[in-house]
């Protein structure tokens, strides 16, 4: 009977010859920009956060935004943001494309936690497409629910917060907030 376990090990080892990483960098910033604006040259800009914007960002994140400004790319009504948020211990780097008032695309660029790496797969990230920032609720909520992943609760929460933050920043830029082209 003990032999079963050694067989299992051998099977696992062979299966893992082509592996999929939990942790790592899956997309560079340039690749994300190309994904967000295929065959186009967007303007890069900086949103300088005033006190009120800092306060709203802190409400969304449930902690202070760790910076004075946010860089983005923009082309017309479409903007793209690379933001970070800690899941359990380590920051997760995520890219969010916003068009008009909704999320057009969501990607995990780098994942550094030892658990919850499943959030990088399209079966999870596709849930963010089409979501908007609901004006009801304080802090503001996403317009639809995002189904979680068991054992990855904190990573899922981080992704949801960053999605809300990108929608909020996009609104500020489109409203002519404290921003400027680089």
Partner 1 sequence: MKQKVTWGNWTKRSFGAMGVLGLTGALPLTALAQTTPSVEEMWRIIQKQQEEIRELKSELDEAETKIEETDVKVTATADTVEQVISVESAQGRDTVIGGYGELHYNNLDNDLAGGDDKDMIDLHRFVIFLNHSFTDDVRFFSELEVEHSLAGDGKPGEVEVEQAYLEWDFAESHRAKAGLFLVPVGILNETHEPDTFFGVERNNVESKIIPSTWWEGGLGTSGELAPGWGYDLAFHSGLYMKDGKVGNVRSARQKVAEAKADDYATTGRIRYTGLPGLEVGLTLQLQNDVLQGENIQGVSSIEGLLLETHVAYQNGPFLLRALYAQWDFDDEIEELTPGADKQKGWYVEPGYRISPQWGVFARYSLWDTEAGGNGDSEYNETNVGVNYWLTENAVLKADYQVQDAPSGASEFDGFNLGVGWSF
Least Å from the CB of residue 29 to partner 1: 16
Least Å from the CB of residue 166 to partner 1: 18
121 binds partner 1 per the rule CB under 8 A: yes
Residue numbers 39-68 binding partner 1 by CB under 8 A: 62, 66-68
Tokens of 10: 């051998």
Residue numbers 125-164 binding partner 1 by CB under 8 A: 127, 141, 145-153, 157
The smaller minimum CB distance to partner 1, of residues 37 and 94, is found at: 94
Nearest to 74 by CA among 44, 33, 40: 44
Q: Which of 22, 54, 143, 178 binds partner 1 (CB under 8 A)?
A: 22
Assess whether the previous peptide bond of 155 is cis (omega < 30° from 0). no
The DSSP element (H or E) to which 92 belongs, if any, is: strand 91-99
Least Å from the CB of residue 52 to partner 1: 18
Partners of 142 in the beta sheet?
133
d(CA 73, CA 86) in angstroms, rounded, equals 23
Q: Which of 8, 44, 55, 134 binds partner 1 (CB under 8 A)?
A: 8
Q: How many residues bind partner 1 (CB under 8 A)?
A: 44
The smaller minimum CB distance to partner 1, of residues 51 and 147, is found at: 147
Burial code (b: 16+ CB inside 10 Å, e: under 16) for 9-33 equals eeeeeeeeeeeeeeeeebbeeeebb
Least Å from the CB of residue 145 to partner 1: 5
Q: Which of 86, 99, 143, 174 binds partner 1 (CB under 8 A)?
A: 86
Distance of CA 76 to CAs 38, 69, 130, Å?
14, 21, 18
Nearest to 84 by CA among 71, 73, 75: 71
The residues binding partner 1 (CB under 8 A) are 1-2, 4-5, 8-9, 12, 15-16, 19-24, 62, 66-69, 86, 88-91, 112, 114, 117-118, 121, 123-124, 127, 141, 145-153, 157
């Amino acid at each position: 009977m003990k032999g079963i376990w050694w067989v299992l090990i051998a099977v696992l080892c062979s299966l893992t010859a082509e592996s999929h990483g939990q942790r790592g960098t899956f997309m560079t910033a340039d690749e994300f920009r190309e994904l967000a604006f295929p065959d186009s040259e967007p303007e890069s800009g900086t949103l300088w956060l005033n006190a009120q914007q800092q306060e709203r960002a802190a409400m969304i994140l449930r902690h202070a935004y760790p910076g004075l400004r946010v860089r983005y790319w923009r082309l017309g009504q479409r903007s793209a943001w690379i933001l970070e948020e800690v899941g359990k211990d380590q920051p997760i780097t995520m890219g969010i494309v916003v068009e008009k008032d909704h999320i057009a695309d969501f990607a995990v660029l780098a994942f550094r936690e030892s658990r919850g790496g499943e959030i990088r797969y399209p079966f999870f990230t596709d849930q963010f497409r089409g979501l908007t920032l609901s004006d009801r609720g304080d802090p503001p909520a996403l317009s639809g629910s995002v189904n979680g992943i068991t054992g990855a609760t904190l990573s899922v929460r981080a992704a949801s917060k960053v999605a809300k933050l990108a929608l909020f920043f996009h609104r500020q830029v489109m409203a002519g907030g404290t921003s400027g082209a680089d």
